[in-house]
Amino acid sequence: MLTSLKRYYDAQMMRPGLPGLFINPFYFARKGLYESVRRLTPHITGRVLDVGCGSQPYRPLFKAVEYIGMELDTPENRAHKQADVFYGGQAFPFDSESFDSLVCNQVLEHVFTPTEFVRELNRVLKPGGHLLLTVPFVWDEHEQPYDYARYSSFGLLALITSAGFEVVEHVKTMSDVRVLCQLVNAYLYKVTVHRNQYLNLFSTLLLMAPINLLGAIGRFMTPSNPDLYLDNVILAKKVDHK
């Protein structure tokens, strides 16, 4: 019973439905990412590499022939990440043009050499293959001290097109009053977080759920603003120069 509840809670943290409004302090951020990724999943097929895979939260969405998760080789990652392959942080340990599709979710902001990293993404992808990339725009510092950058839409597009990608679709998530509600909840979470998960759940229900509800209702009553948003979600294709 407890195991089932834990699995349900974990699912609501990364793939939130209606219950997530009440128990997920990052409801809008995770909902925006999940819905955008889910809509773009038909483009991610064949042999797939998940770069910086973490817990592989979106793996069930993809109809992959083979799905490989890769992480930076650190003791913490080996203990806590669900990776199939670990690498040293420079060249990816794969031959050129060896994958049909790539997924890179909330990783680029932790990369200190983004130009080289994006070139590696391009190198291991087959011509015409797709990259599904998500990167935060408005968010607090996280996974300190390995949080190096925030990308505007213009900077991000310049970075990936210069590496040989063509942008197919670009989504800015939660570009309305929900971005403000999420930032308030991110602040509240940081100042109330406790080692006890039950206390965290209580503070979420008491303090953050009302803000989630306010944002869910307020989005219908306030204008959108595409210049202020939570995350960039980009579907890009490797340009075939042959």
Query: Is beta strand 63-72 parallel, antiparallel or unpaired with respect to 45-51?
Result: parallel
Alpha helices in 101-152 (DSSP H): 114-124
**pTM above threshold 0.75:** yes
List the domain boundaries for the chain: 44-175+227-242, 176-224
Rounded distance, CA 82 to CA 169, Å?
Answer: 28
Rounded distance, CA 217 to CA 238, Å?
Answer: 40
Which pLDDT tens digit goes with each residue over 89-127?
A: 899 999 999 999 999 999 999 999 999 999 999 999 999
Query: Is residue 43 very low, low, confident or very high in pLDDT (cuts 50, 70, 90)?
Result: very high
Rounded distance, CA 30 to CA 15, Å?
Answer: 7
Q: Is 185 exposed, middle or buried (0-12, 13-18, 19+ CB in 10 A)?
A: buried
In residues, how long is the chain? 242
CATH for 44-175+227-242?
3.40.50.150
Q: What mean pLDDT comes out for the span 25-34?
A: 98
